Structure 1
Amino acid sequence: MFVVGGESLVDLVPAKPGPAAERQPVAGGSPFNCAIALAKLGNTTGFLCPISTDEFGDMLLAPLAAAGVDLLIKQRVDAPTTKAIVTFNEKMQASYVFERGAERAFTKEGLVAALPGGVTLLQLGGFVPIEPEDAAAWLAVAGKAIVGGATISMDINVRPLLVQDEKTYRDQLSQLLDLAHVIKLSDEDHDWLEPGMSIEAHAQALLARPNCELVVVTLGEEGSLAFTKATTAKAPIYSPPVFVDTVGAGDSLMAGVLTALAEKQALTPGRLGTLNEAALVSVLRFGAVVAGINCGRKGCQPPTRAEVDAVLAKG
């Protein structure tokens, strides 16, 4: 089983352009999106996150169930669903303001107990490193997964507006990155974390951490990069016939990359770093198609495996 840990929330998205536009709720959250994308690509997937008893919690449960994601924390919580107020720039790239709630309504002991046995991959990211008590709980979850033989992947996905204490955040993120075998970040994450450093140098610094074997960097319209200690690869984006927005694009790409790695029998410590350039290009290409199809839809609506295969079959 693949397990994704981290936040679920409701995006409050403008129904039409303009600062005074009415907002409509859409289920979201980076780990939530990734879990759904993984399941729709054919992976047995569990999601580790509390869900509220409120009506927005009902909204979050529906797409998880439709995709076949196993909700690992069965008992719903009274805290209100976390909300993200979304705005778009002229390129329809999203930015967010957050009101946190139910996705933090856990204990370390509860999270660790909810992680099942037989986990092959634990994917973390989003809000996980932000608060000290949360980071400690997720570090314990990752420790249990590693003891069970799981691969750890981390989507950095910095949320600067939520970071109140930058040093603490960086320290907590660093502890999690030291456990990760696969690390994904965007060029915007890179610019915030290591301003003035080249992406290539940043990738090599991540690869120098104790367990990291593969680094994936998304570059927006410029495509994506993959780095191992042995080689580097680059792939372009896949442009859908009609572009709508970028909500969930990075989450969808991450799900595609993890799926492609698993199908190459490479999503295992010791094997991730052995892929050659051509294999890494094909991994990035698969992820790009997953992300590109998603960008042809409003909000995060990751594609099925059949939809991805149909695009790839066209060359």
Structure 2
Amino acid sequence: MFVVGGESLIDLVPVSSAADAERVALAGGSPFNCAIALSKLGHETGFLCPISADQYGDLLLKPLAEAGVAVLLDERVDAPTTKAIVTFNDKMQASYVFERGADRAFTREGLIAALPRQVALYQIGGFCPILETDADVWRAVVSEAAARGATISIDINVREKLVDDEAGYRARLSDFLDMAHIVKLSEEDHEWLVPGQSIEAYAAELLKRPHCALVVVTLGEQGSRAFSRAGKGEAPIYAPPVFGDTVGAGDSLMAGILTWLSEADALGPDALAALNDEQLSAMLGFGAVVAGINCGRKGCQPPTRDEVDAVLAQ
């Protein structure tokens, strides 16, 4: 099973970029989105996050069930659902303000008990390093997943507005990066983490960490790049016929990359490290189609595998 651990939340999304635009409530959260995308692409997927007993919790459970994602923590919690207030710039690119709640209502024992016996892939959520008490618990979960044979991936997904202790956050993030075989980040993450450093130089630094064998960097409208210990690749975006917004684009791309790696029998550390230029570009191209189809819709609505195959066949 593929397991994604981390936050779920409700995105309160404006219907336009106008300051006074009406907002609609949509299920979201980067790990939540990635879990749904993985399942719709054909993987047995489990989601590891507490779900609130409130009405927004009901809203979160519906798309998980529709996508066939296993909710690994089946007992709902009293804490209110975490919320993200979304705004768009003139290019309809999203930014967020957060009100946290149920995504933190966990215990170390409860999370570890909910892990499946066999975990092929464990994806670390972006909120996990933000608070020290949370990070201590999630590190234990990641360690247990690795002990059960999982390849570990992380989507860094810096949420600067939630970071009150930058030095502490950087140290905790570094701990998670030391555990990961696959690291994904956006160019915005890169600029916040290492301003002034080239993407190539930072990727090389990441690849020197104990387990890292693949680095993926998304570049917005400029596509994406990838680096292994044996090669590097790049791919443009896939532009859908009608553009919706970018909510969940990175999460969909991540799911696409993990799907390509799984189907290429390249999820193991040695295989990841050996990916060559051609393979890396093919991997990114597949992920770009998954992300692009999602961008043709409003909010995060990842495609099914049939939808992806239909575009690839064109």
Same fold (TM over 0.5): yes
Alpha-carbon separation, structure 2, partners of 1:313 and 1:109: 46
Aligned length: 314
Alpha-carbon separation, structure 2, partners of 1:113 and 1:197: 41
SS at match of 1:271: helix
1:67 lines up with 2:67 in the alignment: yes
CA drift of 1:213 comes to 0.2
Corresponding residue number in structure 1 for 2:182: 182
Paired residue type of 1:38: L
Alpha-carbon separation, structure 2, partners of 1:306 and 1:277: 27
Q: What does residue range 210-289 of structure 1 map to in structure 2 within 5 Å?
A: 210-289=210-289
Corresponding residue number in structure 2 for 1:142: 142
Alpha-carbon separation, structure 2, partners of 1:70 and 1:127: 21
- Kindly report the root-mean-square deviation, in angstroms, between the aligned alpha carbons of the 2 structures: 0.6
1:294 lines up with 2:290 in the alignment: no
CA drift of 1:256 comes to 0.2
Q: What does residue range 46-125 of structure 1 map to in structure 2 within 5 Å?
A: 46-125=46-125
Paired residue type of 2:32: F
CA drift of 1:274 comes to 1.0
Alpha-carbon separation, structure 1, partners of 2:297 and 2:19: 22
Corresponding residue number in structure 2 for 1:42: 42
SS at match of 2:65: helix
Alpha-carbon separation, structure 2, partners of 1:138 and 1:112: 9
Corresponding residue number in structure 2 for 1:306: 306
Alpha-carbon separation, structure 2, partners of 1:15 and 1:2: 33
Alpha-carbon separation, structure 2, partners of 1:163 and 1:16: 28
Give the fraction of aligned pairs with identical amino acids, expressed as a percent: 69
Q: What does residue range 145-164 of structure 1 map to in structure 2 within 5 Å?
A: 145-164=145-164
Question: Which moves more between the two structures, 141-150 or 286-295?
Answer: 141-150
Q: What does residue range 121-136 of structure 1 map to in structure 2 within 5 Å?
A: 121-136=121-136
Alpha-carbon separation, structure 1, partners of 2:238 and 2:17: 25
Alpha-carbon separation, structure 1, partners of 2:257 and 2:139: 23
SS at match of 1:234: strand
Alpha-carbon separation, structure 2, partners of 1:286 and 1:237: 10
Q: What does residue range 12-27 of structure 1 map to in structure 2 within 5 Å?
A: 12-27=12-27
CA drift of 1:169 comes to 0.3
CA drift of 1:278 comes to 1.0
Alpha-carbon separation, structure 1, partners of 2:119 and 2:110: 17
SS at match of 1:78: coil
